[in-house]
Amino acid sequence: MPQIFHRSFNTISRVTIFGAVFILAGLGWALSVFVRSSYASNVGIVRAQPIPFSHEHHVNGLGIDCRYCHNSVEHSAYPGMPPTKTSMNCHEQIWVGSEMLAPVRESYRTGVPIEWSRVHRLADFAYFNHSVHVQKGVGCTTCHGPVNHMPLMWQHGTLLMEWCLECHRRPEKFVRDRKDVFSVEWAEPANQLEIGRELVQEYRIQSLIHCSTCHR
């Protein structure tokens, strides 16, 4: 029986098969890099806001506690956004004629809330409760980064599932004393793992990695 295909087709077939494998592997690698990039995850991207509110000025410069503005963070799933009245508690007395704060005064006069651009946007299919994490000793800066050094707020963590699981699998690496949860000056001690294990026992922290923990 005459040969239909030339012998070179054997080589071409092998090259094609192996080439496809490497191409698919390369595409998988490129995709994994992309989803972790700031373009996809929004890490480090500053959002334009109707008013250039500076956490650096208010937290570092004035020493305002997180809970003054985010007053439901200890007992609610959501930290809460401060109403205009919270800003006016101070700005009825200081910077009363500032053009930059004109939208604040207008919001207070009309009762129309300021529309802030959301910085941390967790996927809709993921459930996150701020109060649970705060009560278990997870500090604000653990997730939100050094807010006291942010002139304008940006997203510190990727908010990817692997980022959350890193803490859920080994909470002793991240947990701190409850009295330090809202401290922006807190620094990880040299014996963090030793202290963390004690706090995990004291606060009865469970390593919750089941799907239903976050996906309900």
Answer yes or no: do 98 and 129 share one domain. no
How much of the chain exceeds pLDDT 90, in percent? 72
Predicted confidence band at 97 (pLDDT cuts at 50, 70, 90)?
confident
Predicted confidence band at 20 (pLDDT cuts at 50, 70, 90)?
confident
Answer yes or no: do 103 and 136 share one domain. no
Cα dihedral angle (118, 120, 125, 127), rounded to 10 degrees?
A: -110
Answer yes or no: do 98 and 186 share one domain. no
Question: Is the residue at 174 inside a domain?
Answer: yes
* CB within 8 Å of 149: residues ≥ 6 apart: 56, 60
Answer yes or no: do 67 and 90 share one domain. no
* CB within 8 Å of 74: residues ≥ 6 apart: 67, 131, 134, 135
Answer yes or no: do 96 and 184 share one domain. no
The arithmetic mean of pLDDT across residues 179-204, rounded, is 96
Question: Is the residue at 42 inside a domain?
Answer: no
The arithmetic mean of pLDDT across residues 7-28, rounded, is 75
Helix, strand, or coil here: 97? coil
pLDDT one-digit tens code per residue, 23-62: 888 778 777 777 777 777 889 989 889 999 999 999 999 9
Question: Is the residue at 24 inside a domain?
Answer: yes
Q: Residue 197: which domain range?
A: 55-81+118-213
Answer yes or no: do 160 and 209 share one domain. yes
pLDDT one-digit tens code per residue, 115-139: 999 999 888 899 999 999 999 999 9
Question: Is the residue at 206 inside a domain?
Answer: yes
Answer yes or no: do 147 and 73 share one domain. yes
Residue 168 predicted with pLDDT over 90: yes
The b-or-e profile of 25-60 (16+ CB within 10 A means b, else e) is eeeeeeeeeeeeeeeebbbeeeeeeeeebebeebbb
Answer yes or no: do 25 and 63 share one domain. no
Answer yes or no: do 94 and 160 share one domain. no
Looking at every residue in the chain, the average pLDDT score rounds to 90
Question: Is the residue at 139 inside a domain?
Answer: yes
Extract the tokens encoding 95. 């910077």
Residue 183 predicted with pLDDT over 90: yes
Question: Is the residue at 49 inside a domain?
Answer: no
pLDDT one-digit tens code per residue, 75-93: 999 998 999 999 999 999 9
Answer yes or no: do 77 and 87 share one domain. no
Question: Is the residue at 41 inside a domain?
Answer: no
Backbone angles phi, psi at 86, to 5 degrees: -60, -45
Residue 22 predicted with pLDDT over 70: yes
Answer yes or no: do 153 and 94 share one domain. no
Answer yes or no: do 77 and 146 share one domain. yes
pLDDT one-digit tens code per residue, 150-161: 999 999 999 999
Q: pLDDT: is 78 or 10 the higher one?
A: 78
Predicted confidence band at 19 (pLDDT cuts at 50, 70, 90)?
confident
In the chain, the number of structural domains is 3
Of 66, 94, 115, at which residue does a domain stop? Answer: 115
